[in-house]
């Protein structure tokens, strides 16, 4: 069984690497390779060989065209929305391989704790911007299905799982918990993908990344910030290292300094791009560990507000 899982994870990884020429995953693996020679490699690398995020990357031209559309929308719209003015219903789909937390059947208390973490993160209670967004637990369903439990991004199993379980419209956050392909902490879909493939909309997080979970071999990815990070994508945010040190194409947010590659662990003082500003390692959209990441910036708050209003009608 274990060998089968490893083979499956390898196949998924290979498939992704072949399909995508400029993937986030490749950047992560490159960074891991660099870390491997550093003395702190074990402390900084994701636990159990997991990559933090499998959200599909997009090319420069496509990202720029979305940005142009949102810029036009923002111009005609005027002022963005104030703190706490948008409440998002969260519908959890707990996908497990059997009974008990060790099989992914996480208890309601962990789902409630995850919603609490989202509210703290998005309200600035952990130190960042007080965004427009608040979250409320709207429903939970539970499914036992080994294939869906192990589903990774862009797989047939993901499509089957989401087609069967997805609920609501573009304004409802479908939050799946499963084994995240066996090699990830999570992945998400962007707001601008909703219209073309509504049933695939939502975030998927490793069940043990929820607050109090037993993820990941002692590396602290179990404070619920995988959820915070993936919901950031769902609202329209890119990784802080998107585009590397490129001045034009990056995360399209002015107050997050450029960053060449993802940060792991909590490398204080890291500065990988020559432009002013230290790497935003404390940002929820980087890859640092959960205790390290604790802020969204005002620019990210504005961007998430605009993208979610334009593409989700939130
Ligand atoms: Ca930036
Ligand atoms: Ca810099
Ligand atoms: Ca944190
Ligand atoms: Zn991500």
**pLDDT over threshold 70, residue 18:** no
Domain boundaries, the chain: 2-242+296-312
Q: Say how many Å lie between the CA of residue 304 and the centre of ligand 4.
A: 14
Contact by Cβ (8 Å): 113, 92:
no
User: What are the tens digits of pLDDT across the range 212-246?
Assistant: 999 988 899 999 999 999 999 999 999 999 999 98
> What pLDDT score does 31 carry?
33
Q: Say how many Å lie between the CA of residue 207 and the centre of ligand 1.
A: 30
Overall residue count recorded for the chain in this entry: 314
Instruction: Starting from the CA of residue 294, give the closest ligand.
Output: 3
Other beta carbons within 10 angstroms of residue 67's beta carbon come to: 15
> What pLDDT score does 280 carry?
98
Contact by Cβ (8 Å): 237, 305:
no
Instruction: Starting from the CA of residue 229, give the closest ligand.
Output: 4
**pLDDT over threshold 80, residue 88:** yes
> What pLDDT score does 247 carry?
75
> What pLDDT score does 83 carry?
98
**pLDDT over threshold 90, residue 46:** no
Cis peptide before 216 (omega within 30 of 0): yes
- Give the residue carrying structure tokens 């935003």: 280
Instruction: Starting from the CA of residue 253, give the closest ligand.
Output: 1
Q: Say how many Å lie between the CA of residue 223 and the centre of ligand 3.
A: 7
- What integer is the mean pLDDT of 58-85? 94
Rounded CA separation 46/88 (Å): 30
Q: Say how many Å lie between the CA of residue 203 and the centre of ligand 4.
A: 10
Residue 38 pLDDT grade (very low, low, confident, very high; cuts 50, 70, 90)? very low
Q: Say how many Å lie between the CA of residue 245 and the centre of ligand 2.
A: 9
Q: Say how many Å lie between the CA of residue 242 and the centre of ligand 1.
A: 8
User: What are the tens digits of pLDDT across the range 243-273?
Assistant: 999 877 899 999 999 999 999 999 999 999 9
> What pLDDT score does 223 carry?
98
- What integer is the mean pLDDT of 180-197? 97
- Containing H/E element for 34? helix 24-36
Please name the residues in contact with 163: beta carbons below 8 A apart, sequence gap of 6 or more: 199
Cα–Cα nearest to 239, from 17, 32, 57: 57
Residue 138 pLDDT grade (very low, low, confident, very high; cuts 50, 70, 90)? very high
> What pLDDT score does 248 carry?
77
- What integer is the mean pLDDT of 132-141? 98
Query: Among 2-11, 171-180, 224-233, where is mean pLDDT lowest?
Result: 2-11
Cα–Cα nearest to 106, from 200, 183, 209, 187: 209
Q: Say how many Å lie between the CA of residue 135 and the centre of ligand 1.
A: 26
Q: Say how many Å lie between the CA of residue 156 and the centre of ligand 3.
A: 33
Instruction: Starting from the CA of residue 241, give the closest ligand.
Output: 1
Active site residue 230: yes
Instruction: Give percent of the chain with pLDDT exceeding 90.
Output: 79
Instruction: Give per-residue burial for 37-50: e unless 16+ CB within 10 Å, then b.
Output: eeeeeeebbbbbeb
Give the burial class of 83: count Cβ atoms within 10 A of its Cβ; 0-12 exposed, 13-18 middle, 19 or more buried: middle
User: What are the tens digits of pLDDT across the range 278-311?
Assistant: 999 999 999 999 999 999 999 999 999 999 999 9
pTM of this prediction? Answer: 0.86
Instruction: Starting from the CA of residue 203, give the closest ligand.
Output: 4
Tell me the CATH number for domain 2-242+296-312: 3.40.390
Q: How far is CA 7 from CA 12, 154, 220, in A?
A: 9, 17, 26
Catalytic residue among 158, 230, 259, 282: 230
**pLDDT over threshold 90, residue 126:** yes
- What integer is the mean pLDDT of 97-104? 97
């Amino acid at each position: 069984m274990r060998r089968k899982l490893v083979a499956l994870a390898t196949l998924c990884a290979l498939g992704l690497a072949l399909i995508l020429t400029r993937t986030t995953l490749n950047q992560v693996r490159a960074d891991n390779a660099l870390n491997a020679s550093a003395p702190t490699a074990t402390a900084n690398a994701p636990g159990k060989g997991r990559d933090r995020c499998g959200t599909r990357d997009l090319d420069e031209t496509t990202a720029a065209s979305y940005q142009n559309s949102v810029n036009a929308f923002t111009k005609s719209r005027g002022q963005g929305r104030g703190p706490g003015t948008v409440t998002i219903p969260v519908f959890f789909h707990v996908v497990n391989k059997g009974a008990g937390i060790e099989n992914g059947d996480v208890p309601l208390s962990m789902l409630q704790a995850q919603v609490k973490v989202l509210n703290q993160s998005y309200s600035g209670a952990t130190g960042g911007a007080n965004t427009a967004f608040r979250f409320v637990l709207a429903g939970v369903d539970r499914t036992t299905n080994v294939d869906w439990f192990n589903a990774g991004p862009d797989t047939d199993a993901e499509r089957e799982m989401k087609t069967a379980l997805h609920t609501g419209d573009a304004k409802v956050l479908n939050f799946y918990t499963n084994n995240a392909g066996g090699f990830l902490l999570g992945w998400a879909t962007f707001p601008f993908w909703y219209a073309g493939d509504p049933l695939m909309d939502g975030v998927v997080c490793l069940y043990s990344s929820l607050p109090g979970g037993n993820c990941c071999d002692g590396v602290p990815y179990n404070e619920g910030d995988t959820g915070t990070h993936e919901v950031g994508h769902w609202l329209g945010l890119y990784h802080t290292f998107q585009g590397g040190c490129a001045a034009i194409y990056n995360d399209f947010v002015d107050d997050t300094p450029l960053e060449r590659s993802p940060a792991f662990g909590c490398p204080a003082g890291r500065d990988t791009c020559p432009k002013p500003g230290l790497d935003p390692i404390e940002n929820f959209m980087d890859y640092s560990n959960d205790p390290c990441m604790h802020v969204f910036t005002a620019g990210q708050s504005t961007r998430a507000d605009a993208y979610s209003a334009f593409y989700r009608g939130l």
